[in-house]
Structure formats: structure tokens, C-alpha cells
Amino acid sequence: DGGITQSPKYLFRKEGQNVTLSCEQNLNHDAMYWYRQDPGQGLRLIYYSQIVNDFQKGDIAEGYSVSREKKESFPLTVTSAQKNPTAFYLCASSYYRDSDGYTFGSGTRLTVV
Amino acid sequence: AQTVTQSQPEMSVQEAETVTLSCTYDTSESNYYLFWYKQPPSRQMILVIRQEAYKQQNATENRFSVNFQKAAKSFSLKISDSQLGDTAMYFCAFFMDSNYQLIWGAGTKLIIKP
């Protein structure tokens, strides 16, 4: 079955560490997105990529980095520069310029310990 | 800038009742699409319904229907015969052809009581 997979489901980070969240899709979607969700709040866009080897900053890119070396994969690195990284992270994908909406992964809960 | 506003942070209704969630948006675009997404306690985002702005007819998916008022820039979601499984956060979202991105509302937490 086609879908989008995020791993791990739960992730713990020590202060000063970088961590990488995985997002893989087998839907042949061109575009991929990373969102951050804080308790009781909506989705805020971190980064997005519409084609391989290209990505754009979203509204809250500071302290995060991404890569898009393969169409299927769009990993997100939460760097030590992100001062408040504890949140729920959602990855999504879609066809480029497609108005059918996004398909979402099941999310990663990141906690700083 | 385009914005999406959901004015009801939280709502609760009894099982089997009908509930309407509000959403308004602001845009100068003429061609766009509107969505309602559901996020249950599992936190998986699920597409509920989609509306094309150039279509007069309101979209319907089983118990879910929308009331799309283009002139008023309003896009409400009606859930009929509500079920316990409808308990979730509901997000309204807006998509423009000009930048190919979804703009999200802050969400409404819907609780269905037995």
C-alpha cells in the first residue's frame, strides 16, 4: 500500500544535540512538507520541497535543516539552535501543483530531556 | 496575505446530534480550494472533505457536508448524526493555485459526548 512513513514515533533529545526525523513516501509525490504542531495549536510550516534537490523555508525554519536528495525522502534535522524543539512533527506530501490536498504521515513526538 | 480563521476553539455535542464548525478565510484569489481535515487523538491527519471554489454545489461526503458561501468567504462543516469517533481536532485549510501551499486555521476541538 502506498503511504507516507515517519520514524521514529517518539524521539528524545538531550540539550545541545542534533536529531534527525525521517519521512519517506512511496506515493510518487513530488512535493513534501514538514510541519510543527504545538499543544492545542494548528500547523506551522517549517520547510517544504517541490522537487528533488530544492527546498524552501517555511514560516519557522530557524533551528531546522532539511535535505531532498531523493524524491521519496525528506528528512528533517532539529539542530541545537532550535531553542524549544519539544513538539509534534508532521510530514506531508502531494503532487506538485496538485489541489487534491496533502497526505500525512503519523507524526513524530520529539521531547527534550 | 491569505488567512484562515476558525472562531470556535472547542465545541461539544451529544452523540447523534448535528454540529456545525465555522471557518472563514480571506483572499483576493479567484481560483482556490478549501479543505477540512480531521485529527483524532491518534494525531493522524485525515482529509474529510474538499471544495473547489468555482463550484457552486456544496461538497458532501456521507455524514459530512459543507456550506460554502464564496461571497462571504465562509466554509463551514456540518457533521450529521455525530458519532463518538468524530471526536477530534478539525482544521480548515485553503489552497491557492498561485503558490501551491495549504494555509491552515488554528483548529476546533470537537468532543462528542455519549
Paired with B54 in beta bridges are: none
Burial class (CB in 10 A: 0-12, 13-18, 19+), B87: middle
Chain B residues whose CB is inside 8 A of the A31 CB are 100
Query: pLDDT class for A106, splitting at 50, 70, 90?
Result: very high
Residue B18 to residues A9, A86, B14, B112: CA-CA distances in angstroms? 34, 36, 9, 10
pLDDT-derived band of residue A39, with 50, 70 and 90 as boundaries? confident
Mean pLDDT in chain B?
93
Cβ distance of B102 and A101 shorter than 8 Å: yes
pLDDT for residue A41:
78
Number of other CB atoms surrounding residue A43 within 10 Å: 26
| Whether pLDDT at A98 is above 90 | no
Task: Render pLDDT for A67-97 as a digit per residue (tens, 0 to 9).
Answer: 999 999 999 999 988 889 999 999 999 987 7
Q: C-alpha angle B97/B31/B62, rounded to 5°?
A: 100
Question: What are the chain A neighbours of B42 within 8 Å (beta carbons)?
Answer: 106
CB atoms closer than 10 angstroms to residue A28: 10
Q: With beta carbons less than 8 A apart as the criterion, state whether B59 and B65 touch.
A: yes
Q: Which three cell numbers stand for residue B88?
A: 477530534
Mean pLDDT of the residues in chain A:
93
Q: Does B111 touch chain A (CB under 8 A)?
A: no
Distance of residue A40 Cα from the nearest chain B Cα, in angstroms: 8
Mean predicted confidence (pLDDT) in B42-71: 93
Range A46-68 average pLDDT: 95
Chains A and B: how many Cβ contacts under 8 Å?
Answer: 48
Q: pLDDT at residue B100 above 90?
A: no
* Shortest Cα–Cα distance, A87 to chain B (Å): 12
Shortest alpha-carbon distance between residue B101 and chain A (Å):
8
User: Quick check: B44 contacting A, CB < 8 Å?
Assistant: yes
- CA pair distance A17, A7, nearest whole angstrom: 18
pLDDT at A1: 66
R_g (Cα) of chain A, nearest Å: 13
What percentage of chain A carries pLDDT values higher than 90? Answer: 78
User: Please, which residues bridge with residue A57 across strands?
Assistant: A47
pLDDT at B88 over 90: yes
B107 and A42 within 8 Å at the Cβ level: the answer is yes
Q: What is the pLDDT of residue B26?
A: 93
pLDDT of residue B101: 80
Residue A104: closest C-alpha in chain B: B45
CA dihedral A42, A47, A51, A54 (to 10 degrees): 170
